[in-house]
Amino acid sequence: MDFLKLLSFSVFIFYFSASSGQPLSEPRTGENLQPLYGNLLLDSQLGISDSQPSAWAFFSDEKKSPLKAAFFSAVIPGTGEWYAEAYKSAIGFFTAEIVLVGSYLYFDKDAANKEKAYQKVANDPAKGWSVRKYADYLIYWAEDSGGGQDQKAKDLAVALKNKINGDPNMTPGNREWWTELNSLEREMTFTFGGGAKFSHVLPGYDSQQYYELIGKYEQFMPGWYDYDNSLPMSHMQFLTPAFRSYRDSRTRANEMHNLASTFAVLTLVNHTVSAVNAAMQARLHTDQVKLSLNSLPTGTGYSVPALQFTLKI
């Protein structure tokens, strides 16, 4: 019966021989004699002071909390695995975190630098895009009889011309005729491709959509410095070098933004997977496998080291 109890508690106990051991505090005789419980492991601890930890304490059977392990790794991947004493996976998840966060920061900074660069080009009328040049072009071809625009477009062009500020150096965002410009855009039609109306209106200055649209749609071609405003509207479909260069710069910046977003998502995935893995490792450590070294009495007043391996199934 005692043997079956011992087998359910541990797979085996291996005794190491030692040339010398530590004597027990006192022989278990007289008033020090404590009753036996019929369990070898429990009885072996009788007379050993709890205040004196074993020299093999680093093999402790400390119970690990899956919830605590998951929380640690959710905050910093790998820390929960380290807590659960799964050191290889701890190093793996923590290393992955460093690589992923580093990659995100690198690509996010690169995207921001590229974005500033193409916006600087767009804000330079002499080498980039000018809202005044674009507005003057629309006014000219709306009023011109050969521009193919209806009377409403001509009237809106006159209203914009009367409202437009004569200072070409004023910051586009401070112009007071943006509403009139948008109204004219809604009424303008292309003189090529079936004569469809303009598909977009110019967004507010310095907005993300503003910088995107001027380098994306051909209707904004006349605002680029290298576009010849004397050309008829049919030439708007031919992209200028400045337009192509700006479009490519913006595309590269967007690609870097997408890469940064990808690494941000992968970082969140790493946190999630590490948290789940840490909880599993803590459960395995606590419930299934235990390895510890302890001391057992020899019956001669001395104790010897013993290896204890426990497997719960």
Q: What is the pLDDT of residues 236-252, one digit of tens each?
A: 878 899 999 999 999 99
Mean pLDDT of 55-81: 77
Which of 252, 267, 300 lies at the terminal end of a domain, its last residue?
A: 252
User: Mean pLDDT, the chain, as a whole number?
Assistant: 78
Q: 194 phi and psi, to 5 degrees?
A: 90, 0
User: What is the pTM (predicted TM-score) of this model?
Assistant: 0.63
Q: Are 123 and 248 found together in one domain?
A: yes
Q: Are 137 and 114 found together in one domain?
A: no
Q: Are 94 and 153 found together in one domain?
A: no
Mean pLDDT of 110-123: 94
CA distance to 5, 52, 54, 189, 294, per residue, from 46 (Å): 18, 13, 14, 98, 13
Which of 206, 226, 252 lies at the terminal end of a domain, its last residue?
A: 252
Q: Are 246 and 150 found together in one domain?
A: yes
Q: Are 144 and 106 found together in one domain?
A: no
Mean pLDDT of 22-27: 41
Task: Please give the Cα distance from 82 to 108 (Å, whole number).
Answer: 30
Task: Please give the Cα distance from 165 to 170 (Å, whole number).
Answer: 8
Q: Are 135 and 235 found together in one domain?
A: yes
Q: What is the pLDDT of residue 311?
A: 55
Q: Which residue has the higher pLDDT, 231 or 225?
A: 225
- Residue 260 is given by DSSP the state H
SS3 label, residue 292:
strand
Q: Are 60 and 75 found together in one domain?
A: yes
Q: pLDDT class for 117, splitting at 50, 70, 90?
A: very high
Task: Please give the Cα distance from 2 to 5 (Å, whole number).
Answer: 5
Q: What is the pLDDT of residue 20?
A: 35
Task: Please give the Cα distance from 134 to 12 (Å, whole number).
Answer: 87
Q: Are 77 and 125 found together in one domain?
A: no
Q: Are 97 and 148 found together in one domain?
A: no
Report the DSSP beta bridge partners of residue 290. 310
Q: What is the pLDDT of residues 283-292, one digit of tens each?
A: 887 655 554 4
CB 278: neighbour CB atoms within 10 A? 32
Q: What is the pLDDT of residues 168-189, one digit of tens each?
A: 667 777 888 999 999 999 998 8
Q: Are 109 and 141 found together in one domain?
A: no
Which of 203, 230, 252 lies at the terminal end of a domain, its last residue?
A: 252
CA distance to 107, 256, 262, per residue, from 253 (Å): 9, 5, 14
Q: Are 62 and 110 found together in one domain?
A: yes
Question: Do residues 118 and 111 make contact, with C-beta atoms less than 8 angstroms apart?
Answer: no
Determine the structural domain holding residue 188 and report its residue range: 119-252
The two counts, helices (H) then strands (E), for the chain are 10, 4
Count of domains forming the chain: 2
Looking at residue 210, its amino acid is Y
Q: Are 71 and 9 found together in one domain?
A: yes
Q: Which helix (H) or strand (E) holds 13?
A: strand 12-15
Q: What is the pLDDT of residues 126-169, one digit of tens each?
A: 889 999 999 999 998 888 766 678 889 899 999 999 888 767 66
**Cα torsion through 136, 142, 147, 153, rounded to 10:** 150
Q: What share of the chain is helix, strand, coil (3-state, %, to 5)?
A: 55, 10, 35
CA angle 261, 264, 269 (to 5 degrees): 130
CB 165: neighbour CB atoms within 10 A? 12
Q: What is the pLDDT of residues 74-110, one digit of tens each?
A: 999 999 999 988 899 999 999 999 999 999 999 999 9
Q: Which of 102-111, 193-202, 220-229 has the lowest mean pLDDT?
A: 193-202
CA angle 225, 227, 229 (to 5 degrees): 110
Closest CA to 97 of 122, 83, 78: 78
